[in-house]
Amino acid sequence: MNEIDIGRRIRAVRRAQGLRQDEVAALSGVGARFVSNLENGKATAELGRTLRVLRVLGIELHLSARTWQDVEQLDAA
């Protein structure tokens, strides 16, 4: 999953909950522009603020470790 996929997922969940970007922003303590950038896959989105948005929307983030070989294969693709 990349930043564009994450942004699309955030947008889909927000809309399914009937929330506007400015409402999610206020609940998360971030600006509406940040939410917009996040939904549009801006790669430089700050992790801490992104996690606050995910928490407000009830989206869980799962991490898993990869080997260096896996990362090199992804970079080559």
In this prediction, residue 4 carries a pLDDT of 72
Question: Who's near 50: CB < 8 A, 6+ residues apart?
Answer: 6, 38
pLDDT tens track of the chain, all 77 residues?
676 789 999 999 999 999 999 999 999 999 999 999 999 999 888 999 999 999 999 999 888 877 777 767 767 76
Closest listed residue to residue 36, CA positions, set 12, 7, 4, 13:
7
Q: Is 5 exposed, middle or buried (0-12, 13-18, 19+ CB in 10 A)?
A: exposed
Q: Where are the domains of the chain?
A: 3-76
Q: Which fold has domain 3-76?
A: 434 Repressor (Amino-terminal Domain) (1.10.260)
Buried b (16+ CB within 10 A) or exposed e, 33-53: ebbebbbebeeebeeebbebb
Q: Does pTM top 0.75 for this prediction? A: yes
What's the token pair of residue 1?
Answer: 């999953």
